[in-house]
Structure 1
Amino acid sequence: MVRSDSGTDDSLVDAQPGNAAGARRTLVERLEADGVLTDPRLREALSHLDRGVLLPRAYVRRSEPGTDPVVWELLDGTHPTDRAEWQELVHSDESVLVQRDGEPLESQVRGAVSGGRMTAMSTFIPYTVEVLQRMRIAAGHDYLDLGTGPGVSLALAAALTGPRRAVGVERDEHMAAFAQKNLERLGAGATMVAGDALDGHAPRAPYDRIHSGIGVPCLPSAWMDQLAPGGRLLTTLATRTPSWPGRCLVTRTATGRIEAALEGGPRGHRPLYGYTWLTAQHHLHRIADRPGRPRTTTFTPPADEAYGFWLSAAYLVPGVVRHFQADTLTVVAPEDDSWAVAGPGDGTVHVRGPRDVWAELESIHTLWTRAGSPDRFYVDIPADGGQQHVTSGTGPDALQWVLPPLAAMPGQPA
């Protein structure tokens, strides 16, 4: 079980400034009320995990969207001025930003800073809970966490597996050392190692459960090799757009056969460090001023919850990004300087640029419907490390595509 940072019981922690135990209770109760948290063992682990030990400092954005450079402020949980905002943040449902430009975490300086980019964060807790419950972690399982960051998911997994069963891999040496020290303060019984998550961690293999906290374009062969018979692996597949991620569950049968299923969803982990995100930010003011030429359309895109369609579009209408804050469906192809803006339910759409994004969505919707409107796809993973194919099923109307290789990730060496 994960202890409080001081080893004291929660009744004593309740009396401390800021009431960390009370904040934990509120977090757990909110997750239960929202129907996210259902596993009693994970509830117990969350109730005892002092997130403040793993997230002692956190960045918040102080500048408006679109401002360049971005202005950040580093909050220090031990500083009286910062403590209330910091505690609310680390117990919220938001991602907690903890590292900028790969900086050494021990030498972070409280206060404002501008520019740079965030290179590590703690995943927002509802998704962490969802992932851990789907992993079905049992006591005695050997567990591998990839792209661990500050170690929140690893600490929770270690509480479920028992001591010395959970290991995390983090490519940033500063973060790995920082997380290991904090995990030891908690008495979590977990181990952090510095290394490339794509390689897994062969010295402790095989693993009953493997979780990747980074998105990858396809499934690394090392992960497959390190998955034990009866094991489960869960990762985000970084699609060809950041707007619609894929969630891939891999299992190895008792006889050793690998089976993988891919689904869409509203959330996913960020792609591997170095990935260049598509952004429509610089197009938004132009779209507002000149949305494009209008035309009539009979195409009504499916609801956001039609994840199978949007996942198909992520691969088959590549290089687009959705502006989720727009009043109506707005999809932009930034590299092609093209976009489509749906009318407010009046049977029209505005399109602009050399690429007709709306026509591409219409075409994929026709194919998706003809395939039976699938919400789950199957990934074929060749044993020889060849191309990984995705299909919705069998027959001439099945939707299918090929996953990009690892080397295709922008910013990664060929």
Structure 2
Amino acid sequence: MSDQAELHQQLVDMMTANGSLRTEPWTRVAEAVPRHNFLRGGFFRTVAGAVPTAWEPVHEGDDGWLEGCYSDESLVTQIAGTITPEDIRGQITREPTSSSTLPSLVLRMLEGLQVEDGHKVLEIGTGTGYSTALLCARLGAGNVTSVEYDERVASRARAALGHLETYPTLVTGDGLLGHGEGAPYDRIIATCGVRTVPTAWVEQTRPGGLILATVGGWLGSSELFMLARPQLPPPLGLLPDLDEGKERETGTGADVLNNWTSRFVVQLAVPGAQHLTLERDGHTENVLVDTESGSWAAVYEDSGQWLVRQDGPDALWDAVEEQFGRWCATIRW
């Protein structure tokens, strides 16, 4: 058995053991689709100890490339919207914009899609094409349509799929609009995060069909996938004067922003807010800023007491307190 085949089988065995692969059809699919084929352009890995986070490219044939391809990890494949591993030597500190999602999550989602033979599936976010290939292996390429926003990413995925002689319907465009020409679909799956489920997806799903998507927001409340690019937050620009506004005590501390579940609840109260932390006057301030309304709130702890200072047309932290309080009243601890 070659190193590639051995690593591939080890990954499948691991996903079976941890419950990510639970059914025989998807196990066969996972064994049939080689992930490294979709990472021939390389990937980025973090630079140990770098602050802020820095990335360095790992190219095909480099030490660790093949092992990385068959690790159960998400691998960054694009930085800053345009930069791929082939474009640089050295390090880069910009934000990731595209990745190959960890295989166990991909397979768990695909099993959760509950497809049956003959189902037509629309995938939002082709990415490297790995999940697209898995769908094609399960349902046949003729039943799979995949939409990718980024033209360069789409081109690479098309080439990778072609290398395996797999030819689904590939569309370059805004996945939030779906692909009406192929509707209706039995299933729609999104491999990017969305703030809300688009109406177009609902309209393009057959009655009784399923839509599987990660709903998140600008507070990073659902970090399974990167947000769809048309729904990315606007630049923060110049911050407001955080010394202005009214200050008071609050029983809802900034720790609600650190928990995945409570952060999702908070997001419902302030859907237009973005979060940042600042060191000011010896305190760590958690700041929410809504660039559209100009409202902001700064929350910090002093001598064991949480304080909030806020200003603008909308009292952001008041809304957080109300929403979080209602949620706490409905759950059982």
State the TM bucket, normalised to the shorter chain.
0.7 to 0.9
Quickly say closer, same or farther: Cα 1:306–1:338, change in 2 above 3 A.
closer
Instruction: State the TM-score, normalized to the length of structure 2.
Output: 0.77
- Please point out which of 15, 30, 38 is paired with 1:54: 38
- Please point out which of 44, 55, 58 is paired with 1:72: 55
Q: Extract unaligned runs of 5+ from structure 1.
A: 1-13, 246-266, 280-292, 324-329, 375-414
Which residue of 1 is the match for residue 65 of structure 2? 86
CA–CA distance in structure 1, aligned partners of residues 285 and 21 of structure 2: 33
* Superimposed CA distance per residue, residues 105-126 of structure 1 (whole angstroms, 9 cap, x where no aligned partner): 6x92463242443321112223
* Superimposed CA distance per residue, residues 336-377 of structure 1 (whole angstroms, 9 cap, x where no aligned partner): 46234699xxxx45446448998766543431244x329xxx
Which residue of 1 is the match for residue 157 of structure 2? 179
- Please point out which of 116, 122, 129 is paired with 2:100: 122
Would you say 1:333 and 2:305 are equivalent positions?
Answer: no
Q: Is the 8 A contact 1:141 1:208 kept in 2?
A: yes
Q: Is the 8 A contact 2:4 2:66 kept in 1?
A: yes
- Please point out which of 168, 178, 181 is paired with 1:200: 178
Cα distance, 1:32 vs. partner?
2.4
Q: Is the 8 A contact 2:308 2:317 kept in 1?
A: no
Letter in 2 for 1:89: G
Quickly say closer, same or farther: Cα 1:128–1:212, change in 2 above 3 A.
same
* Superimposed CA distance per residue, residues 380-407 of structure 1 (whole angstroms, 9 cap, x where no aligned partner): xxxxxxxxxxxxxxxxxxxxxxxxxxxx
Count of paired positions: 305
Letter in 2 for 1:44: R
Cα distance, 1:208 vs. partner?
0.8
Which residue of 2 is the match for residue 153 of structure 1? 131
SS in 2 for 1:112: coil
Q: Root-mean-square deviation (CA), in Å?
A: 3.7
Q: Percent identity?
A: 25
Which residue of 2 is the match for residue 314 of structure 1? 267
Q: Is the 8 A contact 1:61 1:73 kept in 2?
A: yes
CA–CA distance in structure 1, aligned partners of residues 164 and 285 of structure 2: 45
Q: Is the 8 A contact 2:12 2:31 kept in 1?
A: yes
CA–CA distance in structure 2, aligned partners of residues 91 and 64 of structure 1: 24
Instruction: State the TM-score, normalized to the length of structure 1.
Output: 0.63
- Please point out which of 262, 272, 278 is paired with 2:228: 272
Quickly say closer, same or farther: Cα 1:64–1:237, change in 2 above 3 A.
same
CA–CA distance in structure 1, aligned partners of residues 74 and 182 of structure 2: 30
Quickly say closer, same or farther: Cα 1:23–1:373, change in 2 above 3 A.
same
1:287-298 aligned within 5 A: none
1:1-400 aligned within 5 A: 14-15=1-2, 19-56=3-40, 57-62=42-47, 64=49, 66-67=51-52, 71-77=54-60, 79=61, 82-83=62-63, 85-103=64-82, 108-109=86-87, 111-242=89-220, 244-245=221-222, 267-273=223-229, 275-276=232-233, 307=261, 309-317=262-270, 319=273, 321=275, 332-335=286-289, 336=296, 338-340=298-300, 348-351=304-307, 353-354=309-310, 363-370=322-329, 372-373=330-331
SS in 1 for 2:77: strand
SS in 1 for 2:225: coil
CA–CA distance in structure 2, aligned partners of residues 99 and 277 of structure 1: 20
Q: Is the 8 A contact 1:162 1:189 kept in 2?
A: no
Q: Is the 8 A contact 1:338 1:357 kept in 2?
A: no
* Superimposed CA distance per residue, residues 278-312 of structure 1 (whole angstroms, 9 cap, x where no aligned partner): 99xxxxxxxxxxxxx9x89699x89x9994x5432
Q: Is the 8 A contact 1:104 1:174 kept in 2?
A: no
Quickly say closer, same or farther: Cα 1:354–1:310, change in 2 above 3 A.
closer
